[in-house]
Structure 1
């Protein structure tokens, strides 16, 4: 059974990257000159991935909670590429803080730039955040939902990793509310490898945290909120958690 699921997963992974190429080429004339076009292309591909995931490998997707539509900072749990797609597809004008290397990835880099993502150089996150804040203040960045992964990388289900200070810096400097996001997608779509497992993959938008909280309070509440809800979502899947401290 695992061998069959692995083969189904292999076909699934191959076809979504082929679909990425096709969508990227078809939408390129529109996306190159329009941020709306770039968003439309990315959301079209996301819909294809969600639809094929359901019948090819048995992954159903669900988005819970109030979806933010105004100017907010979204601080999300990151377990795999699937949570990126679910968050982006849900919000109207999402853009990510991402590793600069992604800009050189075929198709993905072009469209990441097209939707307004903020590239951050490894080891220079502080400088990049300051530059981004300056760009926002100068009006050079379009309003919308800025998405940051507070742990700075993909973290496997059940594994503990520290929350980075960059989220609190952005929260303070931008002066915007923050929406925490929890997830369990890593159980079904792991951060590495081919295997995809059937089940219900969830991304959940939590109640908005108001602007202006003290830094320590903000980080404590953010981490407790995201981790507690992510643990609850993992529990729904029957995931046997091993706390790695």
Structure 2
């Protein structure tokens, strides 16, 4: 299949999934306004249908590996694309994401993120942002769920290095929950920028939890090592060399 034809398929796919997001957002709106269960059902429906469309329209198959946590945990996840968000959210029972504040003003996404209990962070005010994040998370965990945070703070393209930030360690120590690292290769097929979506096997892998009580620096070092090592292995599994590209 030519890359040009795949690009056209990808463009149609992107139009379809964003139109579908708007349709579902409107259909579920009355339910979501009055109950978080409605918002959760809408987002689960969107995640599952988008993964189905990805397989059918652009050839991306999605696979979840490892033991998916169901209790109260912090999930420290590798973030390469929108796809890994969808896959993780679909896999866990009640995901709540640490997200950049600007997304709250995004049509559909912002309203549903609020209803799910996602915690916005002002990335421009580092010290104040971390302090507020901890306070907001403590309040939000009055209701059980799995808190998803991206330790690198943003999407990072396959093969690109970016340091792990201290926020994940602060939440891990402050909440006293286990931290479940998650690796992925999703960005190989669904990149952080551009239209082209490549066929292949996108994987998110839930790794062994880091139990509470590990000192901050040791925790961050261990978290980065297990996520990066496993993510590199997943990328190599599908033919992508994280040290030098395809």
Structure-1-length-normalised TM-score: 0.96
- The 8 Å contact of residues 80 and 190 in structure 1, kept in 2 or not, is answered as yes
Question: Partner residue of 2:76?
Answer: 75
Return the offset for 1:138: 5.0
Partners of 1:72 and 1:176 within 8 A in 2: yes
What aligned pairs does 1:1-245 form with structure 2 within 5 A after superposition? 1-138=2-139, 141-242=142-243
CA distance in 2, matches of 1:55, 1:140: 37
Distance across 2 between alignment mates of 1:139 and 1:8: 40
Q: How many residues align?
A: 244
The 3 A distance-change label for structure 1 pair 242 and 69 is same
- Report deviation, 1:131: 2.8
1:221-243 per-position Cα deviation (integer Å, ceiling 9, x unaligned): 10000000000000101103336
- Structure 1 145/153 Cα, relative in aligned 2: closer, same or farther at 3 Å? same
Conserved 8 A contact 2:73-2:145:
yes
Q: What is the Cα deviation at residue 105 of structure 1? A: 0.3
2: distance between equivalents of 1:126 and 1:37?
35
In structure 2, the CA distance between the partners of 1:138 and 1:57, relative to structure 1 (3 Å rule), is closer
Change in 2 beyond 3 A, CA 1:119/1:138: closer
Q: Which runs of 5+ in 2 are unaligned?
A: none
* CA RMSD of superposed structures (Å): 1.5
- Structure 1 distance, partners of 2:229, 2:49, is 31
Change (3 A) 1:61 1:16: same
Structure 2 Cα separation of the partners of residues 151 and 122 of structure 1: 12
